[in-house]
A and B are shown apart, each in its own frame.
Chain A
Amino acid sequence: MKPLAQSARRIFGLVYRHVALYRRSWPRLLEISYWPTLELLIWGFTASYFAHATLNPGLLAGGALIAGVLLWEVTLRGQLGVTYSFLEDIWSRNLGHVFVSPLRPAELVASLLVVSLLRTLVGLFPATILAYLLYSFNILHLGPVLLLFFINLLFMGWWVALLIVALLFRYGAGAEALAWTVAFGITPFACVFYPVAVLPPWLQPLALALPAAHIFEGMRAALLYNLTDWRNLAAAATLNAAWLLVAIAVFGLQFRAARIRGALIAIGE
């Protein structure tokens, strides 16, 4: 078997490990789509209320809110998909076996990203359908640019997740709480529901350093003015590439440091 095929098979092995787990656990499957659906309902009804209160059909404004909810969930679910899958192996005290197999660290990361993509697609599917049924909002109306939004937001979720996994290598399962909170903490600066200009001037550079702020500016341009904002899309892609490089470097350094400290042996403790 050629090295690339061997590598693909090892990645498949870990993906299979997670798919097998979800296949038999309906609570885990439910959990994947629970929060996106809940967020959609809250913001969808909020948008409907504002539309009635202002005697404005508010379709565009409501569309921006609902699209914001759905797209931001791509980042949140993408990040959780990686960190939750890694934590599954910590909780099951299985990482020792994984790390003494021929699986390379890059293959471990690749398998976590594949699981994350699957979790994100499955998790967002019910919310996307509900958005159409309850609020007549079809996310596909964004057109082909939706794919670019999706990819950029997913990548942002992934580099945030890699940084969190690096912290898990550094601080062990004690850093578990970060897996659930970090991406939510970024939300105010991602400018999901409002333009960057709404933030105080001193906070705007922070927002503009995040790919998400550019994506959501682009999303509002697409929804409100039917424009494709290539400048913001390019900025988001560039920032994602830069942050991803930083995250890979930090992950690699922390993995190496964990092997020196012996943290891989006791990562679940």
Chain B
Amino acid sequence: MNAIIVNHLTKQYPSTLAVDDISFAVPTGSITGLLGGNGAGKTTTISMLLGLLVPTSGSITILGHNMATDRFAALAQMNFSSPYIALPARLSVIENLRVYGHLYNVPHLARRIEELAAQFNLTPLLKRLAGELSAGQKTRVALAKSLINRPDVLLLDEPTASLDPDTGDFVRTTLETYRTTHNATILLASHNMAEVERLCDDVLMMKSGKIVDRGTPEGLITRYGRDDMEQVFLDIARSPAL
């Protein structure tokens, strides 16, 4: 059973072909990495999966819902986190979580916020303004927001960018635990290859808007005859043939 099915997806801007006829499926309960250099088309792909961007052609089905015609039904069962999209800085942590709890119609919201606060060590920060938090604290809040509706599909854009190793490890452990306990499907764009090796069951390698290779991290490392995903990434990024 696939939670995400993408068929012949293309995004053509007036002067750029950002995504070029890609197809893939993400099995339910898996963590899939979406990798590629800057401008490879990862963010464009994630934006189309989230309904922020209308594809030029192709189709996206998430949790059985066609994103072109029924995206709000899918969005209610999804969530998203990115360090590049902020939460309102002048609201406190608890106010932010309340806002998104209401937007996602979370039942028993106060109890859910308590659970998340305990899970992400946010209890002492609940009344602090989001804008006054450190980068690591903001990431924990953003992750709590992204799990507030217990999503079946979680899309993450560089979830550990600019985090110290301790916080980065905390985020990865949280994602692994969440996937296991909720059978959640996670699609992850990342530039951190160690993170990809640790978390991902499957990897999609993007370059110039196309998926140029795919496989498990171990499979890709073996196929390219390399020691780790970092070297595989560099091989693909620098290969003129791909």
Contact = CB atoms under 8 A, between A and B. Distances in A.
Nearest to A103: B103
A92 B88 CA distance: 5
B105 A10 contact: yes
Interface in A1-33: 1, 6, 9-10, 12-14, 16-17, 20-21, 24-25
Contact of A21 (B50, B88, B104): B88
A71 to B, nearest CB: 32
B11 to A, nearest CB: 8
Contacts of B23: none
A201 interface: no
A262 interface: yes
Interface string B37-81: 000000110010011111000000000000000001001101110
Interface string B116-133: 000000000000000000
Interface in B203-232: none
Nearest to A92: B88
Most chain B beta-carbon neighbours within 10 Å: one of A13, A14, A259 = A13
Nearest to B106: A9
B85 interface: yes
B191 interface: no
Given A13-B99, A20-B95, A94 B87 contact: yes
B86 A93 contact: yes
Contacts of A21: 88, 90-91
Given A99-B52, A102-B75, A260-B54, A12 B86 contact: no
B105 A265 contact: no
Chain A: number of interface residues, binned into ranges: 20 to 34
B110 interface: no
Contact of B104 (A24, A94, A101, A264): A101
Chain B: number of interface residues, binned into ranges: 35 or more
A177 B13 CA distance: 28
Nearest to A1: B105
A89 B87 CA distance: 9
A102 B76 contact: yes
Contact of A20 (B51, B82, B91): B91
Interface string A176-193: 000000000000000000
B169 to A, nearest CB: 25
Most chain B beta-carbon neighbours within 10 Å: one of A16, A21, A89, A262 = A262
A13 B86 contact: no
A259 B44 CA distance: 12
A133 B95 CA distance: 38
A265 B99 contact: no
Nearest to B105: A6
Contacts of B92: 20
Contacts of A101: 75, 100, 103-104
A170 to B, nearest CB: 15
A13 B103 contact: yes
B98 interface: yes
Contacts of B13: 261-262
A12 B75 contact: no
A89 B166 CA distance: 31
A10 B72 CA distance: 12
A134 interface: no
Contacts of A259: 51-54
Interface in A120-140: none
Given A1-B105, A10-B105, A25-B90, A264 B54 contact: no
Contacts of B50: 100
A20 B100 CA distance: 13
Given A10-B103, A13-B98, A16-B102, 17 more contacts: A1-B105, A6-B105, A10-B105, A16-B99, A17-B91, A20-B95, A21-B91, A94-B85, A96-B85, A97-B85, A99-B51, A100-B78, A101-B75, A101-B100, A102-B76, A102-B104, A256-B54
Interface of B: 13, 43-44, 47, 50-54, 72, 75-76, 78-80, 82, 85-92, 95, 98-105, 107, 145
Interface of A: 1, 6, 9-10, 12-14, 16-17, 20-21, 24-25, 88-89, 92-94, 96-104, 256, 259-262, 264-265
21 contacts: A10-B105, A20-B98, A21-B88, A94-B85, A94-B88, A96-B52, A99-B51, A100-B50, A100-B51, A100-B78, A101-B75, A101-B103, A101-B104, A102-B75, A102-B76, A259-B51, A259-B54, A260-B53, A262-B44, A262-B47, A265-B47
A-B pairs with lowest CB-CB distance, top 10: A13-B102, A96-B85, A102-B76, A93-B86, A101-B103, A92-B88, A13-B103, A100-B50, A20-B95, A17-B99
